[in-house]
DNA sequence: ATAGCTGCAAATGCTTTGCAAGGCC
DNA sequence: GGCCTTGCAAAGCATTTGCAGCTAT
């Protein structure tokens, strides 16, 4: 399931993101049909490998912008680096501490039951489960 | 359930931590019988409020040392600051995003079932559940 | 005496911001 | 033309580290 630039343009459009050159290029790297967990450095390396010229600041700008627009999910497993997850469906993660790597836990392979009563007036924004290995 | 300095000394001894002045003082702030989720800044403020003279580096040293010795649990919910949890029993957390505050989810109020098959040769170091509110 | 702590300051690492130049509708 | 984006360099923060002096055994 490869995505061509028309697919990428539609994807950005659906999230009301203006399809600039850098955004198209980075989205093209990320949304190729495979789920990914990337850091900013990963994206810079990916871009370099495809001769996409950009800057650290722009990669941060773009990933943050995508996350705010709901195109990426930010995942925090350790202080320091942030991961961005291209898989937006409800799922959880294995974290390989020695490798600093995330991996999806297959949907349905883990269930949470008996959600606790919430403090009043609050609603759940997300439920994050990380299994550290 | 107040702890006097003899209790603190025993606690450190049980974890093979040499009871230096600063360590005794910081442990005294943290282990008063109430569960806490503190940041480094919190500890510095607590220390200052009790006229304990110390430095940023020593608070980091001490909290990291306690965490490595199993006296504290490090909790990561956002990049930036780290939390240290004095509650060592198996439990999970609410995270109040707007306040940057953690709260324990009562034990038993939430269950996980159907743990997924692990990548071979791996074992679980911890299962962390964070419910963001 | 000696091994280990403490604390200052400098360094590190990731991320954000200020701002000038460039691109796009 | 005017607004948004890009990218460089500088700034910002939390954290770590180097190291000299101190402490306690």
Q: What is the CATH number of the domain that holds A31?
A: 1.10.10.10
Q: Considering all nucleic acid strands, name the nucleotide whose C1' atom is nearest to the C-alpha of residue A60.
A: C15
pTM of the model: 0.91
- The range of the structural domain enclosing residue B62 comes to 5-132
Q: What average pLDDT does range B76-82 have in this prediction?
A: 93
State the total domains in chain A: 1
- The reply to whether A62 has its C-beta less than 7 Å from any atom of strand D is yes
Q: Considering all nucleic acid strands, name the nucleotide whose C1' atom is nearest to the C-alpha of residue B54.
A: C7
Position of tokens 């930010």?
A74
pLDDT greater than 70 at residue B1: no
Residues 6+ apart with CB under 8 A from A40: A56, A59, A60, A63, A81, A82
Q: At what angle do helices A21-30 and A40-49 cross, to 10 degrees?
A: 100
Instruction: Say what the pLDDT of residue A70 is.
Output: 94
pLDDT class of B94 with cuts at 50, 70, 90? very high
List protein-proximal bases of chain D (any atom < 7 A from a CB): 4-10, 13-18, 23-24
Min Cα separation A15/chain B (Å): 23
């Amino acid at each position: 399931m490869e995505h061509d630039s028309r697919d990428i343009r539609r994807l950005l459009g659906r999230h009301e993101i203006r399809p600039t050159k850098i955004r198209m290029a980075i989205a093209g790297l990320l949304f190729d049909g495979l789920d990914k967990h990337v850091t900013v450095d990963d994206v810079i390396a990916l871009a370099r490998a495809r001769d996409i010229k950009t800057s650290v600041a722009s990669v941060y700008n773009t990933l943050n912008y995508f996350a705010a627009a709901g195109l990426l999910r930010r995942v925090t497993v350790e202080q320091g680096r942030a991961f961005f997850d291209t898989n937006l469906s409800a799922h959880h993660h294995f974290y390989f501490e020695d490798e600093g790597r995330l991996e999806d836990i297959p949907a349905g392979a883990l269930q949470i039951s008996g959600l606790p009563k919430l403090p009043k007036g609050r609603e759940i924004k997300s439920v994050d489960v990380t299994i550290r290995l």
